Amino acid sequence: MNISVRQMQGSVPVTVLGVQGDLDASNYQDLMAKAAEVYSAGAKDILLDWTGTPFVSSSGLVALHSIALMMSTGQPIGGSEDGWGAIQAMRRGLPTGVQQHIKLLGPQPNVVRTLEKAGMREFFEIHTDLDTAVASF
């Protein structure tokens, strides 16, 4: 997996984290670390570009949850539990409603199904167009 970072300007500055490759147990901590890095550098809004991510495992969902908590509450990214038990606990731990400071761009259908199975789909805006996604912040 490769992670790119770029800044875009909508009505607010948006940091786009582009993920290329599968997001799984072998690399999810890399995404968490990169998100923590850009947050520490001042990022307030993150767009996760998953157009190049064909697969997201439960560990990838742990990363998504951790980043969402950091962006909405300022809670530092911490533990690295994986598995569906952690996913169920995460659903209860997400702030209510759709997340305002982290959104998804172009997740492939099987990734959307994973989000749905985990009960996390309802918490994230999903966009198919980069400019529209950036403008939505």
pLDDT digits (tens, 9 = 90+) for 35-54: 999 999 999 999 999 999 99
Tokens of 113: 């199904």
DSSP letter at 83?
S
Band (pLDDT 50/70/90 cuts) for residue 90 is low
Better-scored residue on pLDDT, 87 or 75: 75
Tokens of 125: 């805006």
Q: Where are the domains of the chain?
A: 2-135
Quick one: which of 134, 136, 135 has its CA closest to 15? 134
Better-scored residue on pLDDT, 30 or 83: 30
> Which SS3 state, helix, strand or coil, does residue 26 take?
coil
127 with 99: CB under 8 angstroms?
Answer: no
- pTM of the predicted structure, to 2 decimals: 0.87
- Cα Rg of the chain, angstroms: 13
Architecture of the domain whose range is 2-135? 2-Layer Sandwich (3.30)
Using the predicted structure, report yes or no on whether residue 88 has a pLDDT greater than 60: no
